[in-house]
Amino acid sequence: MEMTTALWSFALVVGLLTLTPGLDTALILRTSALGHRRQAWGVVLGIQAGTLLWGTLTSAGVTALLTASRVGYEVLRWAGAAYLVWMGIGMLRARAKDGGEQEPAADEDTAPVGGLASGLRRGLLTNLLNPKVGVFYVAVLPQFIPAGAPHFATGVALTGVHVVEGLLWSVVLVGFARALRGWLRRPAARRAMDRVTGAVVVGFGVKLAVSD
């Protein structure tokens, strides 16, 4: 497989994966729709930083330990499940506690101080505590590295393609969510947003806990 063919083929595979709605999409949409623009971009950067780290570790052969060590995989799986359930319940409880009457931030200048750092931490942890991302890279990435090509450099380059696609799709998601801010100023809409997103996050956590 030539390098150009490998890049385009990998771009197609991870492009379809990127467009598939999931936990990352839910987090980005919710954070951005509520007017927390800095925090939303923190979530985006955290998720992509996690993706880059998974790809780099896979290229170095480190994440192969996930498939070789059942104990290591289980520890990471349960840690990720617990984090997702905790985060989802936090969203549900926060909306129930304030009754949904808080007004959302009008723009990025009124977002909470440290919003970028908070979003970065949330996005990074959500990505890194999902062992299925690591297993995906272990199973898929080596197949697109041409014979004779430098394994580490090529693996990181392919991961970069995934990161770029993720960033481009995130621009679309953030723009779409911000277009809905007027509607989401209504307390009922904000309560619905947090309830749905919280339930989705909890659902992903439970799914991760019970899956093999």
Q: Each residue of 79-118: pLDDT tens digit?
A: 878 887 887 888 777 655 554 444 444 444 344 445 889 8
The pLDDT value given to residue 111: 42
pTM given for the model: 0.78
Contact 123, 46 (CB under 8 A): yes
Residue 167 has, within 13 A of its CA and on its CB side, a CA count of: 14
For the ranges 75-79, 88-92, 117-121, 135-139, the maximum mean pLDDT occurs at 117-121
**3-class DSSP state of 34:** coil
In the chain, what percentage of residues exceed pLDDT 70?
85
- Report the distance separating Cα 114 and Cα 119, nearest Å: 9
Output the CA angle 59-141-52, nearest 5 degrees. Answer: 55
Contact 147, 69 (CB under 8 A): no
Q: Each residue of 14-62: pLDDT tens digit?
A: 999 898 888 888 889 888 887 778 899 999 999 999 999 999 999 988 8
Contact 40, 32 (CB under 8 A): yes
Q: Each residue of 188-208: pLDDT tens digit?
A: 767 777 777 778 778 877 887
The pLDDT value given to residue 100: 44
For the ranges 20-29, 133-142, 150-159, the maximum mean pLDDT occurs at 150-159
**3-class DSSP state of 21:** coil
Contact 111, 35 (CB under 8 A): yes
pLDDT confidence band for 160 (50 / 70 / 90): very high
For residue 46, which amino acid is it? G
The pLDDT value given to residue 47: 95
Across 8-12, 127-131, 198-202, least confident range: 198-202
Residue 14's CB: how many other CB atoms inside 10 A?
Answer: 25
Contact 111, 105 (CB under 8 A): yes
